[in-house]
Amino acid sequence: MGIEIERKYLVTGDDWRTAAHAVIPMAQGYLNDTASLDSGAQKASVRVRIQGGQAFLNMKSREIGHTRQEFDYPIPVEDARALLALCVGGLIDKRRHLVEHDGLLWEVDEFLGENAGLVVAEVELEHADQAITLPGWAGAEVTDQVRYYNLALAAHPFSRWSSAERG
C-alpha cells in the first residue's frame, strides 16, 4: 500500500514530445461501475492495466484530490486481457511519455480512441506542499477535476465533452 500525492495539468503545445525519453503504450479499464463510485456506494476504484509487456491490478481509494491510498499488484498479461473483457464503461487507450523536468519525472498521457485530443501531465510528489517548477508546456492545473480522472474518461470520454466541459 502507498499514499499517492500527485498533481495533474493540461498540456499545451508539442514541446514535451522532443523531451520525452520513453513512450509506453497502455490499455486499461475498470471493474467498477462509475455511477456507484460517484454516489459513494463504492469506496475504491479497481483498475486493470496492460502497459508494454506487463500487467497490473490497481486499487485507489476514492478521496478527491491530491492524496489517495493506492494498491498495485502485478498480474499475468493473459489474466489482464480476460479481466479487461469484464470491465464496465469504456476502455482507455493512451501513450504515456516520460519526461524529466527540473529533477522530477513527468508522465505525459496522450489519449487515443474516444479520448483523442486530450493530453494531460502528472507529476508525483513526496509531500503535499512540495514546491515544483512547471515546464513551459504545463497549462491549467486539473488535479481536483473529476472529469479528468481516467475512471471518468472511460465512462464519459473527451470526444463527448461539451464546450463548457472542455473549458
Q: Among all residues, which ones are annotated catalytic? A: 30
CA distance 31 to 54: 18
| Chain centre distance of CA 123 | 11
CB of 57 to a copy of itself, least distance (A): 7
User: Cβ closer to a copy of itself: 83 or 138?
Assistant: 83
CB of 72 to a copy of itself, least distance (A): 10
| Residue 65 sits in the site that holds a copy of itself (CB under 8 A) | no
CB of 78 to a copy of itself, least distance (A): 7
CA distance 149 to 60: 12
Binding to a copy of itself, residues 87-146 (CB under 8 A) = 87-88
CA 72, 89, 73: angle at the middle one, nearest 5?
10
Binding to a copy of itself, residues 15-44 (CB under 8 A) = 31-33, 35-36, 41-44
What is the contact surface with a copy of itself in residues (CB under 8 A)? 1, 31-33, 35-36, 41-44, 46, 57, 59, 61, 69, 71, 73, 75-76, 78-79, 82-83, 86-88
